[in-house]
Amino acid sequence: DVQLAADAAVVPVGPSCHLVFRECDADPVAEAAMEGVHIAIYVSDWKGAYERLTALGLTWSNPRFTHLDMCDDFEQARASRQFRFKHIVDPSGERLLELEHETRALRHFQWFKPVHYLPA
């Protein structure tokens, strides 16, 4: 369950893994440092997730990675073994934040791959 605090929302996304969202003042330096940062998520109903996000107009092919994957239609997403979206919206469709998600099936070959992220 999502936990809400005065200064953050904590979203559990896996065993001992959480995303923490904090609202803060605009900081162009911090935003520039986050350019290109994205997360990979693994879902059980991959095709259903693709269909639901596509129906909302939220699937997105990142132009930086067209040599790796595209998801303009389901056949492209299936061939790429993943699809992307970047806008988090509320039920009305209003954009709340941007965070690129690589969305993969639980059967994806990189499931539970150790990740080494060293921010600049």
Backbone angles phi, psi at 52, to 5 degrees: -65, -45
* Residue 79 covered by a domain: yes
User: What pLDDT shows up at residue 58?
Assistant: 97
* pLDDT at residue 31 is higher than 80: yes
User: What pLDDT shows up at residue 117?
Assistant: 65
Range of the domain at 102: 38-112
* Residue 22 covered by a domain: no
* Residue 89 covered by a domain: yes
* Residue 43 covered by a domain: yes
As a whole number, mean pLDDT of residues 12-36 equals 86
Instruction: Tell me the CA distances in angstroms from 23 to 16, 71, 91, one per residue in order.
Output: 23, 30, 20
- How many domains, the chain? 1
% of the chain surpassing 70 pLDDT: 89
